[in-house]
Amino acid sequence: MPEFPYSRLSRWPDVEAENLQAWDATDELLVDRALALAAERGIGGAEIAVIGDGYGAITLALTDAGYRGIRVHQDLATGRRALERNADEAGLGGFDEHELDGDLLSGARLVLLQLPKALAELEEIADAVARWAAPDVVLVAGGRVKHMTLAQNEVLGRSFAQVQAERAERKSRLIVASEPREVPVEPPFPVRAEHDGLVLVAHGGAFAGPRLDIGTRVLIEQLPALARSQLRTNEPNRSQIAPKTNESVDFSGVVNVQRDAPTIIDLGCGTGALAVAYALAHPDARIIATDRSAAAVASARATIAANGVADRVTVSHDDAGSELPDASADVVLLNPPFHLGASVHTGAATRLFEASARLLRPGGQLWTVYNSSLGYRGEMVRLIGPTEQVHRTAKFTVTRSIRR
């Protein structure tokens, strides 16, 4: 059998760079092990599930080897689009995409997993496999050695009686788990927590879980300043912008100065904290929350329901708001990531700044919080327009940019 041409795979529409590729040695090890196990145990394609297949390398290599009916779950919208595009380019098909649920895993005898960064995400996946897959299922998980920890084995051990880490190959390692344990009646996720009247609900793969991460908190604290700003003017009134550094957040007491309800986009919404905080402060606003992570979208929807604002906030699983119309937003709220998977890379933030420029109407505002050391201000001036610092803490900076 000819070797699968991994090098032809693309990351598009995700960020592409010289130090970023669409597959790694872990993908190859998982495929090799899957082929061996499937042949040894008589496992067909419809009995194989793939989770966390970044850009489709695992799914397409197995499909190319003749396995049909493989079920695949990718958390990221960019990964899903990359898989579809790579499949079209290779002329391959015969796989089905699913969410992390019973449809993905029912009857699966072999589950292949690219290990996630977060232990909470791994816990939710392991529970799902033990809960829905066949009793004789084998879970083969893999990752780069430098990102693996003994805690991952411990998490898998909560759902499987047998967990065996194998020797490293090409700086990657496989962990084989079998004999699923009895699962609790209720799944361990989503979980919830309350923060001064704001309820957050989170699935395992959502950034920061049910916690209110520091950057988001800093931006929420500036919502009163956003309300005081002139949303319908191109030039900022600086006397209205500057907030008091010790000003507390009051979700119910902020009055919007403009007559027409604005359209607000929470870009990269995570668990929905910013969208919900704005909705609680602005009962008449139209708010759209969007994220490329399916776990984040599910969390945001649950957060919105828990706070009673489902009639005012909509959520979409999308790549940088690509399905939203141009010049449709009065305000974009943004807490951009500074990494892509396990790689530190500012390209993800750049894509969101570019998206903000497209989504904002002329004179609209981008409110951003970021780690001060990253120095995004010049890039926002270039891509969006005049940018000023609204607030700064020891670690974070909040800026407001006016769309040209």
Does the pLDDT of residue 73 top 90, yes or no?
yes
What tokens were used for 189? 């996720």
Pick the CATH number of 6-180 from 3.30.428.10, 3.40.50.150, 3.40.50.10790, 3.90.1300.10: 3.40.50.150
Does the pLDDT of residue 200 top 90, yes or no?
yes
Residue 378 CB neighbour total at 10 angstroms? 9
Give the pairing type, strands 360-371 and 329-334.
parallel
- Residue-wise pLDDT for 323-341, tens only, equals 999 999 999 999 998 644 4
Q: Is 244 or 44 the better-scoring residue by pLDDT?
A: 44
Q: Identify the band that residue 160 occupies on the pLDDT scale cut at 50, 70 and 90.
A: very high
Does the pLDDT of residue 139 top 80, yes or no?
yes
Q: What is the pLDDT of residue 383?
A: 97
* Whether this model's pTM surpasses 0.85: yes
Q: Identify the band that residue 227 occupies on the pLDDT scale cut at 50, 70 and 90.
A: confident
- Residue-wise pLDDT for 340-373, tens only, equals 444 444 577 999 999 999 999 999 999 999 999 9
Does the pLDDT of residue 255 top 80, yes or no?
no
Nearest to 401 by CA among 376, 365, 371, 377: 365
Q: Where are the domains of the chain?
A: 6-180, 191-402
Pick the CATH number of 191-402 from 3.40.190.10, 3.60.20.30, 2.60.120.380, 3.40.50.150: 3.40.50.150
DSSP 203: -
Residue 144 one-letter amino acid: R
Does the pLDDT of residue 241 top 60, yes or no?
no
Domains 6-180 and 191-402 share a fold: yes
Task: Give the CA distances from residue 173 to residues 113, 156, 256, 285, in Å, rounded to whole numbers and listed in that order.
Answer: 12, 15, 54, 49
Task: Give the chain's mean pLDDT.
Answer: 91
Q: What is the pLDDT of residue 245?
A: 35
